[in-house]
Amino acid sequence: MAIILIIPLWKRASTNIPPFGKGGGGGIFTTICLFNYGLLSKRNGVKFKTIEWKGDRVRLLDQRRLPQQVRYLECADASSVAKAIRSMAIRGAPVIGVAAAMGIALAAQKAQSRQPGVFYKSMEKVCQKMRQTRPTAVNLFWAVDRMKRVLDQVDSSGVERVRKRLEEEARKIYEEDIEVNRRIGENGKILIHHGDGVLTHCNAGALATAGYGTALGVIRAAWAEGKRFRVFVDETRPMLQGARLTVWELVQEKIPVTLVTDSMAGWVMSKGEIASVLVGADRIAGNGDTANKIGTYSLAVLSKWHDIPFYVAAPTSTLDLNIGSGLDIPIEERAPEEVTHFGTKQITPKGIHVSNPAFDVTPNTLIQGIITENGIIRKPFKKNLFQLRASKRAG
């Protein structure tokens, strides 16, 4: 029998996760824990919803609680959505963009002024707040820019029309992301063969997107076609997105999965168990250098040594052709407690210096191909990525 537990934040269970409402943001949050995963609705081939527009609020699946609890956060304002992004309650480059867009649409709905100038200034501040949540994932900035272009029409269209159009644009970004991810899966599934071992890092699945996945979307599409293979998942320290999130997704789909620690990947490769490595991306530079979760670069080096093809799966919204190389990609530095603590317990000596970059950059020379919704981009990346952009603009 399913147990549904609804806990208002002021009565929430003891946890090391701080309440969202504290220190700004008047959003109302409710914890909903379903301990029977079988009750989760299946949409777009996935048994859960990562994010959902609810009219007067945004519902987010709290990824910090997985896999022990399926817990949804109800964000009643833009500040609450921004805080959810910063705290990694929701994470993954594509879905961060969707969340930011929905947060902006929510702010527009809540804004009281009907004067275009006042409305514009208040919404511009919300857009800036969203941009400041996570610096590396370019999808965030791409989505905010799309919403900003709608906002820029307020003088000619009026406040009420722009409110409606901002909600429509956020919904459109959501739907587009699901469709784009399905196309990535269809394009990339040819790279996986029956009997393969496929290694992935971090989480690039439905949890990182509006609802299908990039790297895991390729895996889902290959599995749905009837190919049978095994997925190896790095635990992905320090936040364990692989162990907590990717493994959970694959268990939901009944796809065979083997969890390994980050330091085991090279040994598993040396035994001939890995046929390909497939990861997502948070930003791709104009020359094909790719930023992804810390530890990805090490995997690419190991893949090169063992002559294993290394693929990146990402939507074209992840491309940042305005920067020449990975040297220009901003790398987020996160709190040292993510490394020094396990839950609430400190596992290191106190007062030590910690380096905790959330991402690293894989040079294009180590990448075999970039799987997008428009096909698999291969070397020379700079030429082919710019040709892709030109063809999309022409279309």
Residue 339 confidence (pLDDT) above 80:
yes
Which pLDDT value is given to residue 87? 95
For range 16-24, the mean pLDDT: 38
For range 114-119, the mean pLDDT: 95
Where is pLDDT greater, at 77 or 394? 77
For range 79-90, the mean pLDDT: 97
Q: What is the phi/psi pair of residue 36, to 5°?
A: -120, 95
* Token pair for 83: 């805080």
Q: Among residues 327, 320, 235, 254, which one has the least CA distance to residue 285?
A: 320
**Which helix or strand (DSSP H or E) is residue 101 part of?**
helix 93-110
Residue 276 confidence (pLDDT) above 80:
yes
**Which helix or strand (DSSP H or E) is residue 173 part of?**
helix 159-188
Q: Which parts of 313-360 fold into alpha helices (H)?
A: 337-340
Q: Spot the catalytic one: 262, 282, 289, 360.
A: 282
* Spatial CB neighbours of 156, under 8 Å, sequence gap ≥ 6: none
Which pLDDT value is given to residue 384? 97
Residue 23 confidence (pLDDT) above 90:
no
282 as an active site residue: the answer is yes
- End-to-end alpha carbon distance in the chain: 52
CATH numbers and ranges of domains, the chain:
183-394 (3.40.50.10470)
Residue 32 confidence (pLDDT) above 60:
no
Mean pLDDT score of the chain: 90
Taking only the tens place, the pLDDT of each residue in 298-322 is: 999 999 999 999 999 999 999 999 9
b/e map of 338-348 (b: 16 or more CB within 10 Å)?
A: ebbeeeeeeee
Where is pLDDT greater, at 47 or 146? 146
Which pLDDT value is given to residue 311? 98
DSSP state of 344: T
Taking only the tens place, the pLDDT of each residue in 169-221 is: 999 999 999 999 999 999 999 999 999 999 999 999 999 999 999 999 999 99
